[in-house]
Amino acid sequence: MAGSSSTFVAVLTAAAVATVGFLAYQASASVPADLAAPRASASASTTKAPRDTRNPTALPAGSGTGARVVYSTADDRVWLVNADGRAEHTFQVTPGSVDPLPGTYAVTSRSGAVTGTDGTPIEHVVRFTGVKGVSIGFSAAVDGSTPAPDPAAKTGGIRASRADGNAVWKFATIGRRVVVIR
């Protein structure tokens, strides 16, 4: 009797796994295009959000709504934007050698302290996408350095000062939107 009940449990488990897999496939196939992962396009990669020329640190128009992190690859600047749409904090960053494509992402993982791909001890790592196997995210070097990236190495770390890295760490929790603009 014990053997037949374990077989029954195994069959039920297999059926449940198959059902969940089928439902996951159906859900992913029916995601509206505007919620799917950002796709590269010629216009998206060349579009630059309008800037206030009198105030270059002002939050760019067209960078989304609500609470979010806005990152400009053209200006090497980050804005932490609250739910009311006001920038709470803005700062310069030093990007890695690999830039994310313009689009909307979400924070997917965080690490308190790791070693960067360049061998530098880093803290407050907030990852939000990847490009061809390179993880892209914000971080701060423990020694406070923000060296220019080695163009020969594929790095996705967007380095901030320790104070700014701490601000990102507190603000950009798992699931927080990250809007990348040119």
Predicted confidence (pLDDT) per residue in 20-66, tens digit = 443 444 444 333 443 344 443 333 333 455 666 667 789 998 899 99
Q: What is the pLDDT of residues 98-110, one digit of tens each?
A: 999 999 999 999 9
Number of domains in the chain: 1
Is residue 28 in some structural domain? no
Instruction: Decide if 121 is inside a domain.
Output: yes
Whether 118 and 101 have beta carbons less than 8 Å apart is answered as no
Inside any domain, residue 37: no
Q: What is the DSSP letter of 76?
A: T
Torsion of CA 104, 177, 80, 154, to 10 degrees: -60
Look at residue 97 and give its three-state secondary structure.
coil
Q: What is the CATH number of the domain that holds 136?
A: 2.40.440.10
Contacts 24+ apart (CB under 8 A), 12-18: none
Tokens at 168, concatenated: 């990102």
Choose among 63, 103, 56, 55: nearest CA to 80.
63
